[in-house]
Amino acid sequence: MNKEQSHQEAVKIYKALGEPTRLNIVKLLCKHDELSCSQIEEQLNYKGSTLSHHLKQLVECGVLRLARKEGTYHFYRVNQDTLDRHVVLQPD
């Protein structure tokens, strides 16, 4: 990845994390190995369609990845490589 591509990737990531809902999702997942959509929904009190939209944005910019599917459940985890390259999150 060249310098320009790295810069563009960082812009996408910071834009995604600039939305408080998405930042809360990432902070929650940083505290856990992986969580299902329903676990995230329960802990942060977000509705399904809203949560799905934000998870999609975070996956598209590379901050999260789909860890696995188990039946109808989707489990997400932080893509630590992406965060290590571009982001410093302070614990709560």
Q: Which two tokens stand for residue 49?
A: 């369609």
- At residue 88 the predicted structure's pLDDT band, cuts being 50, 70 and 90, is low
pLDDT at 16 over 70: yes
Q: Which of 3, 64, 87, 73 is nearest to 38 (CA)?
A: 73
For 18, 36, 91, the CA distances from 14, given in Å and listed in that order, are 6, 24, 17
Predicted TM-score (pTM) of the model is: 0.87
pLDDT at 28 over 80: yes
Task: List CB contacts of 2: < 8 A, sequence separation 6 or more.
Answer: none
- At residue 77 the predicted structure's pLDDT band, cuts being 50, 70 and 90, is very high
Q: Which residues lie across from 69 on neighbouring strands? A: 74
pLDDT, the chain, mean: 90
Q: What is the model's pLDDT at position 8? A: 87
Q: Which two tokens stand for residue 28?
A: 């929650």
Task: List CB contacts of 37: < 8 A, sequence separation 6 or more.
Answer: 48, 51, 52, 55, 73, 74, 76
Reported as a single tens digit per residue, the pLDDT across 31-59 is: 999 999 999 999 999 888 899 999 999 99
Domains for the chain: give ranges and CATH numbers.
Answer: 3-86 (1.10.10.10)
Q: What is the model's pLDDT at position 61? A: 94
